[in-house]
Amino acid sequence: MTQIPARPFGFPLARDRVALVIIDMQRDFVEPGGFGASLGNDVRPLQAIVPTVARLLAGFRAAGLPIFHTREAHRPDLSDCPPAKRLRGAPALRIGDPGPMGRVLIKGAPGCEIIPVLTPLPDEPVIDKPGKGAFYATDLGDQLAARGITQLVCAGVTTEVCVQTTMREANDRGFECLLATDATESYFPSFKAAAIEMIVAQGGIVGWATDTDAILGAIN
Ligand code: TIU
């Protein structure tokens, strides 16, 4: 068994049971004028990880390993968006409002699409999720179980919101999760750092963390 150098200790890679999950690399989070920006955030730090996420994606494709993509995406009638989520705070644009990239976080809107450089291939499932975690109200768990996947390499945005929530959901479902630390980003550098520490603390209470080179070195 290959061990990937990681924190808090080597990740015991099971090559036949691992998948990459790229979380919410959508225009709405990464580009100006989207949901992330409407919440008052500077999106540039998220743009900076795009080449690294692309390298991780290319490595999984080259290795012939399964890849899942997620999107935070709601139905046009907002029936899967609780008012408590839509009405929270005072964003410049709420979920469902028309913005420069179409309706914010609504399936089919240009802003809801994954950024072009990371466009999923036809055999790579795209999980539309109404929550922050990718398991809540989706069939991700069933899809992973059907393929015998028990380990997730996690990347995407934002580290302490949708990525960490998804890792916690996965951890509780028995998955071993490895975060690619340079293929994830937050609008808040200190939150990213804290999220990584929370994940690896206490003997890997949520999972493991390492960089993209370590992961690519093990799978290819
Ligand atoms: N606001 C924020 O940091 N994140 C989200 O709302 N969604 C995701 O993290 N995808």
Contact assessment for residue 126 and residue 114, using Cβ atoms and an 8 Å cutoff: yes
Please, which residues bridge with residue 137 across strands?
none
- CA 39 – ligand 1 centroid, Å: 10
Strands across the sheet containing 208-210: 126-129, 67-72, 18-23, 151-157, 176-185, 208-210
pLDDT in tens, the chain (220 residues): 799 999 999 999 999 999 999 999 999 999 999 999 999 999 999 999 999 999 999 999 999 999 999 999 999 999 999 999 999 999 999 999 999 999 999 999 999 999 999 999 999 999 999 999 999 999 999 999 999 999 999 999 999 999 999 999 999 999 999 999 999 999 999 999 999 999 999 999 999 999 999 999 999 8
Rounded Cα distance, 83 and 94, in Å? 11
pLDDT attached to residue 202: 98
Contact assessment for residue 4 and residue 117, using Cβ atoms and an 8 Å cutoff: no
pLDDT attached to residue 37: 96
Count the neighbouring beta carbons within 10 Å of the beta carbon of residue 188: 16
- Residue 118's nearest CA partner among 31, 15, 211 is 31
pLDDT attached to residue 210: 99
Nearest residue by C-alpha to atom 1 in ligand 1: 36
Angle in degrees, 0-180, between the axes of helices 50-63 and 212-219, rounded to the nearest 10: 10
Q: Measured between alpha carbons, how far apart are the two ends of the chain, in Å?
A: 14
89: tokens are 């705070």
Ligand 1 binding pocket (C-beta < 6 A) is: 24, 29, 39, 72, 132, 157-158, 161-162, 187
**Which positions are catalytic?**
24, 129, 162
Contact assessment for residue 1 and residue 152, using Cβ atoms and an 8 Å cutoff: no
- CA 1 – ligand 1 centroid, Å: 35
pLDDT attached to residue 1: 78
